[in-house]
Structure 1
Amino acid sequence: MVAPKGGGNAWVWGLTSMILFMIFLMINVFIRLKKLDESEPEKRLTFKEWWATIDAKFFTKAIPLEKEEEFILDHEYDGIRELDNSLPPWWKYGFYATIVVAFFYLLRFHVWKTGPNPEQEYNTEMRIAAAEIEAYRKSSNDMVDEKTVTMSDAAGIAAGKQIFNKQCFVCHGMNGEGGVGPNLTDDYWLHGGSINDVFKTLKYGVSDKGMPAWEKAFSPSEIKNIASYVKSLKGTKPANAKSPQGELFAENELAKVQVDTATKK
């Protein structure tokens, strides 16, 4: 059994209370058995009789079969009559124990406030989970897609350049000046100019324009690096650059729109 994060102390308190209750119950049983033996010293009980005595007094406390007719209630339903039997002592003692535990719970969490309540535990676990997810994402570059991609660092851009020079220069030129494919160094884009758009174009391709999909050839982290290198080519003005194609993409205007939208939300 594993205690939930943030609630370990509550488990210790509850477990301690239950252990103390069980010890009290066992002491009570032994005291009563000792008194029973002292009252009938001449009679020695067999194990079966001894257990039956304990069971009748402390566990079931059921009415003997031969006396059940005296305790059957008058009402009847569908031929079934109710026996006015006692609740098992263990059940009653357990119920009393829950009252004791509830009393300490009330004091600790709502009066003394020495422990986190369920809402505080939930918020703590959510913060821990968010931190663990963020740490995992940082350690695993392949946990990225067109919605979560961000610019790579300098090392990632350098790695993206190596892949670009091996696979992409045929259509886009060695410096991104364009050829069969569009110029990648100006402000005009056929399929969007954000890092997310470039990642998506690289990943899924554009079949009607002859752009292959690279999602099976490269990992998400490699596609991220290529996209970041492509973005880094902006404004480099290589020789023999191809004329602009597509629509003008303003990076700063896009950022301003995103900020305004987030502010309104």
Structure 2
Amino acid sequence: MRNIRTTKFILSTSFILCASFAANAQEKTISHPLVDNNYNGTAWALATVLLFAFGGLIYVFSKFSALGKEDKAPASVGQRFARLNAKFFTKAIPLEKEADHLLDHDYDGIQELDNSLPPWWKYGFYFSIVCAVFYILRYHVWKTGPDPEQEYNTEMAIATKQIEEYRKKAGDMVDEKTVTLADAAGIAEGKKIFQSNCFACHGQKGEGGVGPNLTDNYWLHGGTINDVFKTIKYGVPEKGMQSWQKTYSPSQIKDLASYVKSLAGTNPPNPKAPQGDPYEEKASTNTAAKDSTSVAKK
């Protein structure tokens, strides 16, 4: 009896504590996880599960310890577990009593036995009902938790922030295989680099000088963004162009290559004669932009 009273006390305490958690959650305002750390929905749910699990374990152990005291002779651990399994986990009808619990259904000589549902299954079902009640109160009555749309918006905001942070860290991870055109800000940075180091050979406006004209659709070493990036990165030592990979970071070379690509079709005064081979590069199938000019590798 003492074990049963103790178990009831622990389970009742668990319910009271769970209710207090819910009341406390009602008083607090759920804030955005990206703003601060006051969002305690996960902690509340975890505490509820742990409390119920703790009460359930106490109940099982109390049953286990009581089984050995039912008989005059003390039961072994194996016997206690077998009885506990029969009463709590399976609650199967003993073989000698199955005939008394057979149903009238007969399928080709196979009869149905009226076994009870396993207690653990029933208790789990009751527990799910309790969780459903708390769920309704929290999300639909007290409205202290985010609804699915709010959760979606929160996760999307978190993902957006993570993508931005990744892009900041991954800026210097580009190479000639993965480089893409920079945005307007990147092209502006590339222009500054060009006017500081490249104008001596290619002219202030890319019209060409010692180096080739960068504004037409003729290229000596390929005109895609990947080719231009590679040419700037490794240089062309046999023609007097140095490698810039030790001077500029990959993200800076990306900006510079993007600025060079942006010079196509600008028609500056006094352009140098075309060098290399031209070819038309088709626009991306994912945009409605017109075909842009590019060239094949020589």
The TM-score, its normalising length taken from structure 1, stands at: 0.61
In the other structure, the counterpart of 1:227 is 258
Q: Which residue of the other structure, out of 151, 157, 162, is the alignment partner of 1:121?
A: 151
In the other structure, the counterpart of 1:203 is 225
Further displaced range: 7-16 or 59-68: 7-16
Q: Which residue of the other structure, out of 102, 106, 112, is the alignment partner of 1:72?
A: 102
CA 182–26 in structure 1, closer or farther in 2 if over 3 Å, else same: closer
Q: Which residue of the other structure, out of 125, 145, 151, is the alignment partner of 2:180?
A: 145
Deviation (angstroms), 1:26 = 3.8
In the other structure, the counterpart of 1:16 is 47
Deviation (angstroms), 1:111 = 0.9
Deviation (angstroms), 1:47 = 1.7
Q: RMSD in angstroms over aligned alpha carbons?
A: 4.1
Cα deviations across residues 45-73 of structure 1 (Å, max 9, x unaligned)? 12222222222222211101122222222
Secondary structure of the residue aligned to 1:138 is helix
Deviation (angstroms), 1:99 = 0.7
Query: Structure 1 unaligned runs (5+)?
Result: 192-199, 205-212, 244-257, 259-265
Seq. identity, %: 41
CA 156–140 in structure 1, closer or farther in 2 if over 3 Å, else same: farther
Per chain length, whose mean CA-contact separation is higher, i.e. which structure has more relative contact order (CA < 8 Å, sep 6+)? 1
CA 81–161 in structure 1, closer or farther in 2 if over 3 Å, else same: farther
Contact 2:98 2:113 in 1 (8 A): yes
CA distance in 2 between partners of 1:150 and 1:91 (Å): 62
Contact 2:88 2:118 in 1 (8 A): yes
**Residue type matched to 2:51 in 1?**
L
Summarize the alignment of residues 15-164 of structure 1 with structure 2, pairs less than 5 Å apart. Answer: 15-29=46-60, 40=71, 42-77=72-107, 80-141=110-171, 142=174, 145-146=180-181, 149-152=183-186, 156-161=190-195, 164=198
Query: Structure 2 unaligned runs (5+)?
Result: 1-31, 234-249, 274-288, 290-298
Cα deviations across residues 162-204 of structure 1 (Å, max 9, x unaligned)? 66458xx4xx5575234796574xxxx659xxxxxxxx94426
Cα deviations across residues 178-236 of structure 1 (Å, max 9, x unaligned)? 4796574xxxx659xxxxxxxx94426xxxxxxxx335443575143143267589999
CA distance in 1 between partners of 2:56 and 2:166 (Å): 49
CA distance in 2 between partners of 1:121 and 1:140 (Å): 28
The TM-score, its normalising length taken from structure 2, stands at: 0.56
Deviation (angstroms), 1:100 = 0.7
Contact 1:18 1:97 in 2 (8 A): no
Aligned residue pairs, count: 213
Cα deviations across residues 108-161 of structure 1 (Å, max 9, x unaligned)? 111111121232122111111112212322343337513x53343765434344
Secondary structure of the residue aligned to 2:153 is helix
**Residue type matched to 1:145 in 2?**
T
CA distance in 2 between partners of 1:183 and 1:85 (Å): 85
CA distance in 2 between partners of 1:85 and 1:61 (Å): 8
